[in-house]
Amino acid sequence: MVANHLEEEESYLTSKKGIASWLFTLDHKRIGIMYLASIMFFFLVGGLFAILLRVELWTAGDTIVKAKQYNQLFTLHGAIMVFLVIIPGIPASLGNFVLPLQLGAKDVAFPRLNLMSYYIYVIGAIVALSSLLVGAVDTGWTFYTPYSITTDGGVVVMVMAAFILGFSSILTGVNFISTVHKLRAPGMTWFRMPLFIWGIYATAIIQIMATPVLAITLLLLVIERVVKVGIFDPQLGGDPVLFQHFFWFYSHPAVYIMILPGMAVISELITTFSQKRIFGYKPIAYSSIAIAIISFLVWGHHMFVSGQSELVGMIFSALTFLVAIPSGVKMFNWAATMYQGSVSLATPMLWAMGFFLLFAIGGLTGCFLGTLSVDVHLHDTYFVVAHFHYVMVGGTFMAFMGGIFYWWPKITGKMYNEKMGVWSVILVVLGFNLTFFVQFIMGAQGMPRRYYHYLDQFQIYHQISTVGSFLLGFGFLFSIITLLVSLKYGKKAPPNPWHAATFEWTETASPPIEHNFHHQPISTKGPYEYDQIA
Amino acid sequence: MVANQITKSHFPLAVHFANPEQQVEAGKLGMWLFLATEILLFGGLFVAYAIFHHLHPELFKAAHRFLDVKLGAINTVVLLFSSLTVVLAIHAAQKNKTHLIVLNLVITLVCAGTFLVIKYFEYTHKFHAGLLPGYFFTNATVPSPDQAHVFFGIYFMMTGLHGLHVVIGMIVLLWLLVRALKGQFGEQYYLPLELGGLYWHLVDVIWIFLFPLLYLIR
Ligand SMILES: [Cu+2]
């Protein structure tokens, strides 16, 4: 009955036409799509740099580029993937689309601010790419002083880009927190909110608390480079390690800006595709907040060998292990949700399973690195590279893809080909492990990161990794093709193809109308009561 | 113009809010969150100040004497007064007195301008005396001149960033003034005045911390 009634009005995709209706839209759904398209574009650009890096490492010494270009390539890869892809990633695209729908709201609290933050993102992206005109940066995405104040190239431009992108991130965070506080549907108490919202909410808290510190750090770095103010430059009485403290005070929490939204998506996928109420709703919700809080207390684990005192190192090491507790709480609750559920292995659920495997490896190797004595041996090796990619790609990006495949019918109104979807996951998981698992081994054997040259003994690992990266790249391309093909050939999506219980599925059509709902949805039960769906 | 008179105290409710109350609360929450990020932004500089003060306490004591306490104190009074006039503008709106809103906003803007003019004189004096950050420091009369530039680096960054906020605040005030002149504020609707006022108070509060930290060491 609901479905028939909803057919009558045009969807948000067709209600207004023309390019201007997109560029100046205040609709959170359209803004979410613009973010998604931009983020995917930069994902492909960053991925291309990754492939070039792996090709260069096929042989020791020069393969396709020289040492300097190699440094520029890994800097571009890192900066683009971190600042333009994973940090905005899930919150700006899926969060924008889904959050108001799940809350039963017509839009985010500040739609104009939302559009503005998108354009700030675009400006930041343009500035980042224009650093190539001044001369590509070769500092790595971390911009460590004093190298970043002495090397040539467009460091100032790239750093300003990250500064601008930070603003976009802050405004999104402000918007989401206000939306969650003030625009929940009647009856939707905090503990009736879907867990996706809890995760995005915790992320937004980190976004507004950590990003300003990055902003001031980057601003100081620019000033240091331009007018030589003597804050970070040891020659002028400054302290280069202070930069590392400032930088990681943001950038460790930023890792949770990246992973928490991934966990948020996984909570939705696991419970929907198990058709069982989530096990431990409150622990999962609170663990997001716990991760957000602990994330501010562990930055020193990046500086075990930067000359901080042994005692401080021990404290940071101990605090780092605390992160494993809320992460473990989530993993075990998800597993318990699947237990005795009616699990269906549809494509989004397969992405979630991929997340499970890869994030477990990434998270546990994080414990190795958080151990003071082990880290002294492993720091700055490929072990760190592998760990980071297992968490960021194996964790966040798998969840991101899972989320896209999950909400795709809602966003576009089309169903994709399930077989192609399954193959995308298989290709990505295989390619990913082939690329990065060997990096743990060579890292443990002492292969340092950020080197374009290596000893002969590492060649076999590098070559396996390069082959894997091609498979991985193909897997991601194949997933994107699967989605794009569905736009033309996909079957029309029903309002609730997954038999999910949250508002975006139960209360509106696929795709939704411009103002989301014909009638204000009212929350009368928890978000995962599958036996009570009409 | 007649239309303005009629819509004077009308609340422009956005489509996605259920009622004016919800819109006002969301706006205020958003502003407070934004102010929190501003405080954290300055927080980075306060930490840098604390660290370098800790490293060179004698230097900070010696170098701060080159700042003009009298001008700093005048600026403090000017900003405090402007915070009062912003509040008066909101009160005027609640009583539907458009001309008083306009008058108070103009006074606030004049105060902000005065602050910047005084800051300009302070800065030019330092430029002439060579009391500049890092590399550009040329003053030989300061004790331990090879390190004193650190203090002036911090001085210029903190007051410079604050000055930038004063300029942004003036743009906001100007925008509010234009809207007030159009008669858009009244007892029903004065949310933008409140939000702009909050921002202006923040600019004021930050200066209240900067003044003793930089001008009144010990
Ligand atoms: Cu960390």
ipTM: 0.90
The conformation of residue A415, written as its DSSP 8-state character, comes to E
Contact yes or no for A177 and B40 at CB 8 A: no
CB-based burial, B4-34: b 16+ in 10 Å, e otherwise: eeebbeeeeebebbeeeebbbbbbbbbbebb
Q: Is the pLDDT of residue A9 over 80?
A: no
Token reading at B72: 């700093």
What pLDDT score was predicted for residue A8? 61
Q: How many residues does chain B have?
A: 218
**For chain A, what is the total number of helices (H) and then of strands (E)?**
20, 2
Residue A252 CA to ligand 1 centre (angstroms): 4
Closest of A524, A533, A530, A479 to residue A506, by C-alpha: A533
**Which of A174, A231, A242 has its CB closest to that of B33?**
A174
In sequence order, the 6+-apart residues with CB closer than 8 A to the CB of A50 are: A77, A81, A469, A473
**For chain B, what is the total number of helices (H) and then of strands (E)?**
7, 0
pLDDT in tens, A43-65: 999 999 999 999 999 999 899 99
Q: Is the pLDDT of residue A333 over 70?
A: yes
The percent of residues in chain A predicted with pLDDT above 70, rounded, is 98
Range name among A8-17, A136-145, A165-174, B67-76 with the lowest pLDDT average: A8-17
Do residues A303 and A312 lie in contact, with contact meaning Cβ atoms separated by under 8 Å?
no
Residue A266 CA to ligand 1 centre (angstroms): 22
Q: Alpha-carbon distance A398 to A246, whole Å?
A: 30
Q: Is the pLDDT of residue A2 over 50?
A: no
CB of A109 within 8 Å of any CB in chain B? yes
* A173 interaction partners in chain B (CB closer than 8 Å): 33
Do residues A419 and A482 lie in contact, with contact meaning Cβ atoms separated by under 8 Å?
no
Averaged confidence pLDDT in chain A: 93
Q: Which residue has the higher pLDDT, B153 or A259?
A: A259
Do residues A493 and A414 lie in contact, with contact meaning Cβ atoms separated by under 8 Å?
yes
Q: Which residue has the tokens 């004016």?
A: B20
Residue ranges and CATH numbers for the domains of chain A are 4-506 (1.20.210.10)
What pLDDT score was predicted for residue B77? 95
Residue A370 CA to ligand 1 centre (angstroms): 9
Range name among A109-123, A207-221, B131-145 with the lowest pLDDT average: B131-145
Structure confidence at residue A118 as a pLDDT band (50, 70, 90): very high
What pLDDT score was predicted for residue A523? 92
* A215 interaction partners in chain B (CB closer than 8 Å): 41, 44
Q: How many CB pairs under 8 A join A and B?
A: 114
Query: DSSP labels for B88-157?
Result: HHHHHHHTT-HHHHHHHHHHHHHHHHHHHHHHHHHHHHHHHHT--SGGG---SSSSSHHHHHHHHHHHHH
pLDDT in tens, A120-147: 999 999 999 999 998 889 999 999 988 9
Residue A23 CA to ligand 1 centre (angstroms): 37
* Chain B interface, Cβ < 8 Å to A: 14-18, 22, 25-26, 29-30, 33-34, 36-38, 40-45, 47-48, 51-52, 133-136, 147, 149-150, 153-154, 156-157, 161
CA angle in degrees (0–180, nearest 5) for A199-A200-A204: 120
The CATH T-level fold of domain B20-215 is Four Helix Bundle (Hemerythrin (Met), subunit A) (1.20.120)
Structure confidence at residue A158 as a pLDDT band (50, 70, 90): very high
Do residues A101 and A185 lie in contact, with contact meaning Cβ atoms separated by under 8 Å?
no
Token reading at B40: 């954290």
What pLDDT score was predicted for residue A490? 93
Q: Alpha-carbon distance A410 to A421, whole Å?
A: 16
Range name among A219-233, A425-439, B37-51, B139-153 with the lowest pLDDT average: B139-153
Structure confidence at residue A505 as a pLDDT band (50, 70, 90): very high
* B147 interaction partners in chain A (CB closer than 8 Å): 237
In sequence order, the 6+-apart residues with CB closer than 8 A to the CB of A353 are: A345
Q: Alpha-carbon distance A74 to A66, whole Å?
A: 13
* A242 interaction partners in chain B (CB closer than 8 Å): 48, 51
Low-confidence ranges of chain B (pLDDT < 70): 1-9, 145, 218
Segment A191-219 mean pLDDT: 94
What pLDDT score was predicted for residue A325? 93
Q: Alpha-carbon distance A522 to A499, whole Å?
A: 19
Chain B CA closest to residue A205? B33
CA A176 from chain centre, in angstroms, equals 16
Helices A347-370 and A398-412, packing angle to 10 deg: 150
Structure confidence at residue A230 as a pLDDT band (50, 70, 90): confident
Element (H, E) at A320: helix A310-338
Contact yes or no for B30 and A223 at CB 8 A: no
In sequence order, the 6+-apart residues with CB closer than 8 A to the CB of A22 are: A30, A34
**Which of B33, B38, B134 has its CB closest to that of A236?**
B134
Segment A443-465 mean pLDDT: 94
**Which of B17, B34, B51 has its CB closest to that of A174?**
B34
Query: DSSP labels for A440-494?
Result: HHHHHTT-BTT-S---GGGHHHHHHHHHHHHHHHHHHHHHHHHHHHHHHHPEEPP
Q: Alpha-carbon distance A176 to A200, whole Å?
A: 8
Residue A255 CA to ligand 1 centre (angstroms): 7
Q: What sign does the CA torsion over A24, A29, A35, A41 have?
A: negative
Q: Is the pLDDT of residue A215 over 90?
A: yes
Residue A295 CA to ligand 1 centre (angstroms): 8
pLDDT in tens, B25-84: 999 999 999 999 999 999 999 999 999 888 888 888 888 888 888 999 999 999 999 999
Contact yes or no for A212 and B33 at CB 8 A: no
Task: Give the closest-approach CA distance of B151 to chain A in angstroms.
Answer: 10
Strand, coil or helix: A509:
coil
What pLDDT score was predicted for residue B4? 43
pLDDT in tens, A64-87: 999 999 999 999 999 999 999 999
**Domain assignments of chain B as residue spans, ordered by start:** 20-215
Residue A332 CA to ligand 1 centre (angstroms): 23
